[in-house]
Structure 1
Amino acid sequence: MLNKIMKRGQRKPSKSEAIEPPLPTSSASNVTVNHASRLAAPTPQPVTLATVPQNPGTVEVLPMLRDVPMSDRHNLFIRKLQICCILFDFTDTMKSIREKEIKRQTLAELVDLVQSGSCKMNEIMQEELIKMISVNIFRCFPPAAHENTGTEGGDPEEDEMFMDPSWPHLQLVYELLLKYVVSLETDTKIAKRYIDHSFVLKLLDLFDSEDIREREYLKTILHRIYGRFMVHRPFIRNAINNIFYRFIFETERYNGIGELLEILGSIINGFALPMKEEHKLFLVRALIPLHKPKCIASYHQQLSYCITQFVEKDYRLADTVIRGLLRYWPVTNCGKEVLFLGELEEVLEVTQSAEFQRCMVPLFRQIGRSLNSSHFQVAERALFWWNKEHIVALIAENRRVILPIIFDALERNIRGHWNQAIIGLSSNVRRMFLEMDPELFEECQRHNEEREARAGELEEQRESTWKRLEEVAAQGTAEDMVFL
């Protein structure tokens, strides 16, 4: 009888208990995580990543999750996460080949499992999953990550592309994180406890990776996090702002500016109207100053898209944007000047007449200087503005202000520019103004001739003065000179 009572006390657990142990509801209930300690001795206890050995000797080959009973899948899932926490040296391709392959296959299995949704993860499993992902992706970059970022404005396509040797594993870890974030089985209320502000900040730090493949994954993942975790949206925007400030005013070195701007381009497109003051301040304090760094060529396309999106959303921002670009106009960098002219063209395409009139005087004073640039690509890019119908309409409407500003620049190009293409384009623009308003054209031409005549008289006076000084100096002797 005594033996029967003892056997009854050692009953087997039900299937639900083995699959999902009760979750902790408070700090005091952490001890209830290992409820399996009440089970019979042969049944393994649930494990966590805290039990992972610091220096594991060998990597254990575990069965596939689909090949074990439901009652064992929880523990097996955690054990597989333990394997995936082991980091390897990928600089030596012949080292730990077997162990690396086991980890790669385990990661691939976890990706398929999360993508299929066949195994619903409880809170403990999700927490351990995020811990494993953090162990793999959050790492320090080598010093070279800050030495070859193209800070002198070189062509990033000509630089040798960096390929992280650990990418076979990193890619699977990023894929796993992406599948977890986008999975319909993921409860955001639970997930936000582990994908918290600290996690997001560390994720943003990874955008400085030199490996463009890693930055592409990070861009997609952060965008998905922004879309699903609404509570994180203001924090993510502020964190990106801080990265931009540090880049603009301190380091001018950061690899992921283009990817962050791509995310922001999508975010800006979704801004509600009327636009919040916070977003306008972001435009003035972060986006416009991003035109300052020398390496703007590496992210200018994405930056220009963000700027244009703001003007499309709120046409009243056109004057702010144009004056901001003029403030950071390059003086000696012709490559940057070509980029600025192209961006201004896109902004003017969505600018309305009232905003155009506010800034047209300083704008076309700068365009006049660009028209006379000895760098033919700068002059050519400025002259191409007259191929845009909307810009020509704005100019025609305000021709009495604009033509007197640039008339002299057009005349100088036609008379003396070294490039025949610039001479031809300048002649075409001159003809457009003549057909647009013959009287205004003749008036500008007359004023231009008067200015040239006055300039000629001044030049003659200077030459005459120097000639007299030379004659006096030739007639005098050393004794006549007075030394002060």
Structure 2
Amino acid sequence: MLKQILARIPRKSSKADSLNAVENNSGNNNANVGNGVPFNSSCTVLSNKLNVVKRVSSVIFPASIASGGQLVDPQVPFKDVSNAEKQSLFLSKLNICCLVYDFNDPDQNSTEKDLKHQILLELGDFVASGSAKFNETAIAAVCKMCAANLFREFPPKCNSIVARSENEDDQPVFDPAWCHLQLVYEILLGVLGQRSFDTKVAKKYLDQKFIFKLLDLFDSEDPRERDCLKSILHRLYGKFMVHRSYMRKAVSNIFYRFVFETEQHNGIAELLEVFGSVISGFTLPLKEEHKLFLSRALIPLHKPKSLGVYHQQLAYCIVQFVEKEQKLASVVIKGLLKYWPVTNSQKELMFISEMEEILEMINNAEFEQIMVSLFRRIGCCLNSYHFQVAERSHYLWNNDHVLNLIAHNRHVIMPIIFPALERNNRHHWNKTVLNLTQNARKVLFRMDEELALACQSKVEEENSKLNAVAESRRLTWERLETAGSFQTMQSSISTAIEPSTCIVAC
């Protein structure tokens, strides 16, 4: 009985029937073409358009998104659709924002650029409102949109950190596409800060390749972009524990290439600023990987000429390591002595300031390992003819902790330092340095007068020997000059007296 009732109810046409009808129509059309009748099928054109949309969406979204229903017109504002359709509209707007325009020509595609700018603003507000649901579909769409807009290659002329360090007054270069790039960065940062953002799902799309290309963007000449990248990299490091080791290795490789190959990179300061906060979060005891990062990546950064651009951030990172483990102070000072600048006085001032900061945290056992080589270098700095270097070196005697270290090891340090102070006292040209030298000598005499007098007498004895050697050398040169002039005189006289010969031919 029930079957008979159901049989009488008219059936809805199924998808298969509609497809068969389309195939029959296309077959009839093909038959018409074979008969010579003109063919202009709107169904075929529509089918081609649908195929194009499907192909584009498969590039931007996963296959599940492309088949998950029809997307809403991206030009419709979020306020004009229901809550059920907002997620689809969100995906549609992300999809259309994957189109990238050339901003070198401001008149080209101006209408499309304005439309994209408006959509990006809407996306940023929608993400900030917390209405978006960041499932796998949305995360994939956001990553694709960010990759399409952000990941690009910079021209070779952008690598100008050396030029920027030599010409500090030069204006930075700003990217003409920043009006779009800024909004994309804000969307990405907002997505990473959402509570509904699932890192387990997102690591499939925010993978190592994505992070690698993101780190490449730190070479941008636009300081605004590098500042945005700082926040994003810090957020990624905090959320994705699985990628932390890779991030450290990737940043180390950037430092290696910068120090030992190119010496050209615009984002060293920003990368160091991010890792300053990362290092402060290291747990104790420090892993061997972290110590290698200090010795192989951070300390060699003192070598390039452009140290002044990022020295403040570098010194902060190194101080964070020494605060974590004081035994690393000797490693840092040995590295500073290895890369100590000989002909660059401005870098030398930076080294002295950083070295004093490290000495304030070093204990006596570590200090004894490096005190001889360290104070030999300080002695050279005391005698520097660049008055700022000499002046800055004398200020070490105003540091109480450094003075205590010198007092505990005065039998080793004073014989090294006293000759440098005596040379300054006799030969230095700057009056301020002479006054500081006198003050340093007084400090050493108050510390141990007997040892200071012994060092002074030894210096005087060595000076007398050197003077005797110099006088002997001067007399030797005078004798050589006298002997040389006497031989020259004899040869000229003999040439004048010698009779000229005359050959007579018979």
Which category describes the TM-score, using the shorter chain as reference length? 0.7 to 0.9
Q: CA deviation at 1:9?
A: 7.6
1:154 equivalent among 122, 142, 166: 166
1:397 — aligned with what?
Answer: 408
Q: Given the superposition, is the C-alpha separation of residues 110 and 4 from structure 1 closer, same or farther in structure 2, using an over 3 Å criterion?
A: farther
Q: CA deviation at 1:143?
A: 2.7
1:412 equivalent among 415, 423, 426: 423
Q: Given the superposition, is the C-alpha separation of residues 3 and 94 from structure 1 closer, same or farther in structure 2, using an over 3 Å criterion?
A: farther
Q: Are the equivalent residues in 1 in contact too, given 2:319–2:358 (CA < 8 A)?
A: yes
Q: CA deviation at 1:33?
A: 4.6
Using the aligned pairs only, state the percent identity: 51
1:23 — aligned with what?
Answer: none
Supply the AA of the counterpart residue of 2:455: C
1:453 — aligned with what?
Answer: 464
Provide, for residues 197-231 of structure 1, a one-character-per-residue CA deviation record: whole Å limited to 9, x for no partner.
Answer: 00000000001001111011111101110001100
Provide, for residues 149-208 of structure 1, a one-character-per-residue CA deviation record: whole Å limited to 9, x for no partner.
Answer: 2258525x4232111111111001001111111211101111111111000000000010
2:97 equivalent among 62, 84, 102: 84
1:72 — aligned with what?
Answer: 85
1:26 — aligned with what?
Answer: none
Q: CA deviation at 1:243?
A: 0.8
Look up the SS of the partner of 2:205 in the other structure. Answer: coil
Q: Are the equivalent residues in 2 in contact too, given 1:364–1:402 (CA < 8 A)?
A: yes
2:282 — aligned with what?
Answer: 271
Aligned residue runs from structure 1 range 145-294, under 5 A: 145-146=158-159, 148-150=160-162, 153-154=165-166, 157-294=168-305
Q: CA deviation at 1:288?
A: 1.1
Aligned residue runs from structure 1 range 328-339, under 5 A: 328-339=339-350
Where structure 2 has 5 or more consecutive residues not aligned to the other structure, the ranges are 1-5, 16-61, 493-506
Distance in 2 (CA, whole Å) between partners of 1:3 and 1:246 is 79
Distance in 2 (CA, whole Å) between partners of 1:219 and 1:113 is 23
Q: CA deviation at 1:4?
A: 6.3
2:132 equivalent among 105, 108, 119: 119
Q: Are the equivalent residues in 1 in contact too, given 2:192–2:235 (CA < 8 A)?
A: yes
Runs (4 or more) in structure 1 with deviation over 6 Å come to 1-4, 478-481
Q: CA deviation at 1:442?
A: 0.9
Q: Given the superposition, is the C-alpha separation of residues 356 and 301 from structure 1 closer, same or farther in structure 2, using an over 3 Å criterion?
A: same
Q: CA deviation at 1:2?
A: 8.6
Q: Given the superposition, is the C-alpha separation of residues 31 and 207 from structure 1 closer, same or farther in structure 2, using an over 3 Å criterion?
A: closer
Under a length normalisation based on structure 1, what TM-score does the superposition of the two structures give? 0.86
Aligned residue pairs, count? 441
Distance in 2 (CA, whole Å) between partners of 1:174 and 1:227 is 17
2:372 — aligned with what?
Answer: 361
2:156 — aligned with what?
Answer: 143
Distance in 1 (CA, whole Å) between partners of 2:331 and 2:366 is 9
Q: Given the superposition, is the C-alpha separation of residues 100 and 31 from structure 1 closer, same or farther in structure 2, using an over 3 Å criterion?
A: closer
Look up the SS of the partner of 2:134 in the other structure. Answer: coil
Distance in 2 (CA, whole Å) between partners of 1:387 and 1:448 is 25
1:437 equivalent among 443, 448, 451: 448
2:122 — aligned with what?
Answer: 109
1:96 — aligned with what?
Answer: 109
Distance in 1 (CA, whole Å) between partners of 2:293 and 2:189 is 28
Q: Given the superposition, is the C-alpha separation of residues 110 and 284 from structure 1 closer, same or farther in structure 2, using an over 3 Å criterion?
A: same
Q: CA deviation at 1:76?
A: 1.8
Supply the AA of the counterpart residue of 2:113: K
Distance in 2 (CA, whole Å) between partners of 1:98 and 1:152 is 36
Of residues 430-439 and 130-139 in structure 1, the stretch that sits farther from structure 2 once superposed is: 430-439
**RMSD between aligned residues:** 2.2
Q: CA deviation at 1:31?
A: 6.1
2:480 equivalent among 466, 469, 476: 469
Q: Are the equivalent residues in 2 in contact too, given 1:152–1:294 (CA < 8 A)?
A: no
Distance in 1 (CA, whole Å) between partners of 2:8 and 2:173 is 69
Where structure 1 has 5 or more consecutive residues not aligned to the other structure, the ranges are 11-29, 38-44, 48-59
Q: Are the equivalent residues in 1 in contact too, given 2:87–2:133 (CA < 8 A)?
A: no
Distance in 1 (CA, whole Å) between partners of 2:485 and 2:218 is 72
Under a length normalisation based on structure 2, what TM-score does the superposition of the two structures give? 0.83
Supply the AA of the counterpart residue of 2:365: A
Aligned residue runs from structure 1 range 416-431, under 5 A: 416-431=427-442
Supply the AA of the counterpart residue of 2:147: S
Q: Are the equivalent residues in 2 in contact too, given 1:151–1:252 (CA < 8 A)?
A: no
2:48 — aligned with what?
Answer: none
Q: CA deviation at 1:136?
A: 0.3
Look up the SS of the partner of 2:362 in the other structure. Answer: coil
Supply the AA of the counterpart residue of 1:336: K
Q: CA deviation at 1:36?
A: 5.4
Distance in 1 (CA, whole Å) between partners of 2:122 and 2:164 is 44
Of residues 61-70 and 430-439 in structure 1, the stretch that sits farther from structure 2 once superposed is: 61-70
Aligned residue runs from structure 1 range 304-315, under 5 A: 304-315=315-326
Q: Are the equivalent residues in 2 in contact too, given 1:151–1:253 (CA < 8 A)?
A: no
Distance in 2 (CA, whole Å) between partners of 1:86 and 1:474 is 89
